[in-house]
Chains A and B, each alone.
Chain A
Amino acid sequence: MSTSAHTTPDQAARKHWMGVLARAAEDALEEAWKGLERQPEHVWVRRPESGMTMVRGRANGNGTPFNLGEMTVTRCALRLDDGVMGVAYVQGRSHRHAELAALFDALLQRPDEAGGLQRQVIAPLEHERSQAGEAARRRTAATRVEFFTMATGRASS
């Protein structure tokens, strides 16, 4: 196994769909899973397990890293009947969410199924999420308050 700082187009694509699957609602994934023509069998490589991970941030995105706080993460790894391995890291404690995300991750790595799944699962989930984000932004924008600082004009003595 080789690790590299460079991301290949394949890795970038996988990173994208893993992100979409991790952020998607569990119900939406369950529905998409039930909608598949065939639900393949899988064996566990790592059963779902919940733990904590430290979220780090940078002020303004470029400052010194600081620890924001811990969040709950559930991860798992599985292998489909044809040997393809799917991995998932999702927020929260839902084992089923992690399982579904890993299953779709594995299916999306199959060249013959990836195109269809991208259209039928990933694109709608992404659209749903961007819609929800847009609605939240609009709600927030409606009550936006601008703060102005008045110059007092008093000279420092």
Chain B
Amino acid sequence: MNHVAEGLPQPGFADAVFDSQASFRAVLDALARPGQIRTLTAPLTAPAPLSPAATALALTLFDHDTPVWLDAGAGGGDVAGFLAFHCGCPLVDETERAGFALITAPAAMPALHGFAIGEDRYPETSTTLVIDVPGLTGGAPVRLSGPGIATVTEVAPLGLPERFWSQMAANRGLFPLGVDVVLAAGEQVIGLPRTVKAEV
């Protein structure tokens, strides 16, 4: 690609139908089996600084009905133009109005309770956070238990702030309300639904 192409939308999935269906299944599995690493179908391009996995998730789940919040890192690059072209999703400035949040700088991310936690009658209207981390393994181990986990499992993602896990514990206390989290790195994701119990 030469410089003329800068700023113009880049291609999304190679095959929009099958690739988004495969990615949908992978995200569904990731949230049903918290802590297990799932691989999404990588799109042809990912707008900087989004990971291929976060881009695949956006192409799969975002449309004109999903208000999306971008953190400062995602808002500064080509992400907004890419999402407008491929997903047509509205971008919002208020975290509590977001259906999805794309976070590329987890160290500086807002507190979880700042996002939409849903309503008693419609708990599904909460925000799903997609957090790009430097790696899904190699960090400090965290023990996970709860629905979808037979006994106990362990994850060790890199780059999350310490306050994240205490906020996840508080988030679990809100059940059936609360936010769901998907950690992304490269082409892989880990699902952390609101039901997961995490011990550092």
Contacts and interface: CB of A to CB of B under 8 A. Distances in A.
Interface of A: 1, 43-47, 49, 77, 79, 82-85
A44 B44 CA distance: 10
Contact of A79 (B3, B7, B8, B16): B8
8 contacts: A45-B8, A45-B9, A45-B10, A46-B11, A46-B86, A82-B2, A83-B5, A85-B8
A83 B11 contact: no
B11 A44 contact: yes
A49 B15 CA distance: 11
Contact of B11 (A1, A43, A49, A82): A43
B1 interface: yes
Contacts, number: 34
Contacts of A82: 2, 4
Contacts of A47: 15-16
Contacts of B11: 43-46, 79
Nearest to A85: B8
Nearest to B3: A83
B2 A1 contact: no
Contacts of B5: 79, 83
A47 B20 CA distance: 14
Contacts of A1: 7, 81, 84
B99 interface: no
B2 A83 contact: yes
A83 B81 contact: no
B1 A83 contact: yes
Interface of B: 1-5, 7-12, 15-16, 81, 84-86
A78 to B, nearest CB: 9
A85 to B, nearest CB: 5
A84 B4 contact: yes
B8 A83 contact: yes
A46 B12 contact: yes
Could you say which of B2, B9, B10 has the most chain A C-beta atoms within 10 Å of its C-beta? Answer: B9
Contacts of A43: 11
Contacts of A46: 11-12, 85-86
Given A45-B8, A45-B11, A46-B86, 15 more contacts: A1-B7, A1-B81, A1-B84, A43-B11, A45-B10, A47-B15, A77-B9, A79-B5, A79-B8, A79-B11, A82-B2, A83-B1, A83-B2, A83-B3, A83-B8
A84 B11 CA distance: 13
A83 B15 CA distance: 21
Nearest to A44: B11
Contacts of A83: 1-5, 8
B56 to A, nearest CB: 16
**9 closest Cβ contacts across the A-B interface?**
A83-B4, A83-B5, A45-B11, A83-B2, A85-B8, A45-B9, A1-B81, A44-B11, A82-B4
A79 B3 CA distance: 13
Could you say which of B8, B12, B84 has the most chain A C-beta atoms within 10 Å of its C-beta? Answer: B8
Contacts of A77: 9, 85
Contacts of A45: 8-12, 85
Contacts of A84: 4
Could you say which of A1, A43, A45 has the most chain B C-beta atoms within 10 Å of its C-beta? Answer: A45
